Homo-oligomer: A and B are copies of this chain.
Amino acid sequence: MSTVFKALSDPTRRKVLELLRKGPHSAGELAEHFAVSKATMSSHFAVLREAGLVVSEKDGKQVIYHLRLSVLEDALLDFTRLFGWSLAPSAEDSPKGETHDETR
């Protein structure tokens, strides 16, 4: 849980997650949205990967990142429960069908 919140504590990483919500993207595509070096982005990806929030897949020269919504949801769910809140996927778009696919 700490690693998830840590990952979430950086605006760049939150934005990456947000971009990934629209579907898988390559490292390069994601990096285009930010004014930092590729090396820096790569290190952000590593943080997200270690938190389990994304998974990467090699495709030729590229590395494709996928969001793992379920991990994010579980972490938030565990936490919000402590405060008597309920977190629910509000019925709507799960772009590119990556809703509750468990592949660890």
A interface with B by C-beta (< 8 Å): 1-2, 5-6, 8-11, 14, 18, 21, 69, 72-73, 76, 79-80, 82-94
Q: Chain copies in the assembly?
A: 2
Question: Do A86 and B83 form a contact, CB below 8 Å, given A5-B9, A10-B2?
Answer: no
Nearest CB in chain B: distance from A32 CB, A: 20
Q: Which residue of B lies closest to A15 (CB)?
A: B82
- Quick check: B18 and A82 within 8 Å, CB to CB? yes
15 contacting pairs across A/B (C-beta < 8 A): A5-B8, A6-B9, A8-B9, A14-B79, A21-B82, A69-B83, A72-B83, A76-B80, A84-B91, A84-B92, A85-B87, A85-B89, A86-B88, A87-B87, A87-B88
